[in-house]
Chain A
């Protein structure tokens, strides 16, 4: 197995506060890799650094053998590494169908065609509906995304991300706010899409993490505490300490 994403000495300081400290992370191609840790550990900040929404203070990032440390976030997505957001990110005033189509539109190329009718976008409808179906949102196809429940927004976000057919997905708490049924469906979906993709995900639901991930990295106070499969990590005294020390989350 080879590494698809590699971070070395990744560090982010916010006005003197070190949110991520010398993190070395290697994500194997085709694996499901979980990033866990107590609240405020720096997981989302790591995601922001890896997808270049934040510029690291120090360290390097390599994706698919290419140094991406200085690249722009939109270009990271174009390389096939697409992220989701912890706070559900949909286009609230667009319908569910339109949300997914925005991704399909991008995949086709760019959409600077201001002189064409949007009617042409119906060419993406069938493909969009298939993605919407896969996350169980078919009956909401024409609903405004802003009107969906929280869990359904998350599902829409996954459908939109998958529409880009990315080689690598970074999912930030994809199941937060979902009911049991949706968690199960989303777990199954993630397992299925992982067949030919790499997934790095942040998730607080440890049962999901145990069930899905090939490898787990535990982060606390911006530093890596432990790494390995679920059994190794869950037995690590450092990890037990960190979780108990951080209180109840």
Chain B
């Protein structure tokens, strides 16, 4: 046991080296229990969709909240991975876990290529470069042969986990999706609270100072970009297995916008904000689906109100109020 383990909890002055704060651990534990019983309460496919988007938003938050980089093209990794995973399952006949890995890797490689070019630019130019490349991915998905154009890739078989355990039923698939997304979210938490994450925070807070200490900041930015893209890919690949579908919606620019919305609404740079933001947005879309185009309008209104009322996002405001990082 190290010295910091036995230090008393004194909220914000508490050194960040004491492992996961008890409060975070408690919230994660409650969340896990709730998710474990959730399929008995709500339609499992809906719950799986929420989990995939929560992971997507958490991945995006890693880049924006901790890397200080606003990507406006994260649909490319989410959707790109979704296409690759769907193709892997349907055409190559891979089992779900391998398809998900394939999609995630593809998103990581795509992130490496796009990130290497984008991080040379700052601020709005960075956002524009990421958007431009995401549009290229979109047009590729529209034109290429294996992506199925307007139809996307449909009726993707769910197969069997490790080729042994069938996950055809929603209930069986649910626990795979829970493991993947929850594990992904915990891993993102670890990244933020790693030595690497500490350097990221330093770069975000004072880049020239980090450089003067000898940090090659562009390598850190590229690394966080690739990590964020990979986890966005993990989310997209998993979603393709849930819906047995990869479609143009996943790579559309509005998907890039949605993840920005979820993250800002919940609280950028917080641990739980993106998860809440994703839950709110997905739930809203679900219940308002019958209203067609109005969903977009209502979503816009909520976003504007949310940003005006809670500048730091819902969880950001609560965290300030409790004087504890959430």
Contact = CB atoms under 8 A, between A and B. Distances in A.
A154 B43 CA distance: 58
A83 B211 CA distance: 10
Contacts of B216: 72, 74-75, 110
B195 A74 contact: no
Interface size class of B (residues with CB under 8 A): 35 or more
Interface in A120-171: 120-122, 125, 142-144, 160, 164
9 contacts: A84-B212, A89-B206, A89-B208, A91-B205, A114-B223, A117-B190, A119-B17, A142-B14, A142-B15
Contact of A92 (B16, B196, B198, B205): B205
Given A94-B201, A118-B198, A53 B193 contact: no
Interface in B170-214: 190-191, 193-199, 201-202, 205-206, 208-214
B22 interface: no
B207 to A, nearest CB: 10
Contacts of B209: 85, 89-91
Contacts of A92: 205-206
B317 interface: no
Nearest to A82: B212
Contacts, number: 129
A82 B196 contact: no
A113 B191 CA distance: 8
Interface in B210-228: 210-217, 219-220, 223, 227
A95 B13 contact: yes
Given A91-B201, A91-B206, A121 B214 contact: no
B214 A164 contact: yes
A73 interface: yes
Contact of B15 (A51, A74, A90, A95): A95
B2 interface: yes
Contacts of A115: 190-191, 194
Contact of B194 (A51, A114, A122): A114
Given A83-B212, A89-B208, A94-B205, A105 B3 contact: no
Contacts of B14: 142
Nearest to A164: B213
A57 B194 CA distance: 40
B202 A102 contact: yes
A201 interface: no
Contacts of A144: 12-13
A98 B2 CA distance: 17
A85 to B, nearest CB: 7
Contacts of A51: 212
B255 to A, nearest CB: 26
A122 B4 CA distance: 8
B215 to A, nearest CB: 6
Contacts of B4: 119, 122, 125
B47 to A, nearest CB: 28
Contact of B213 (A72, A114, A121, A160): A160
Contacts of A102: 198-199, 202, 210, 213
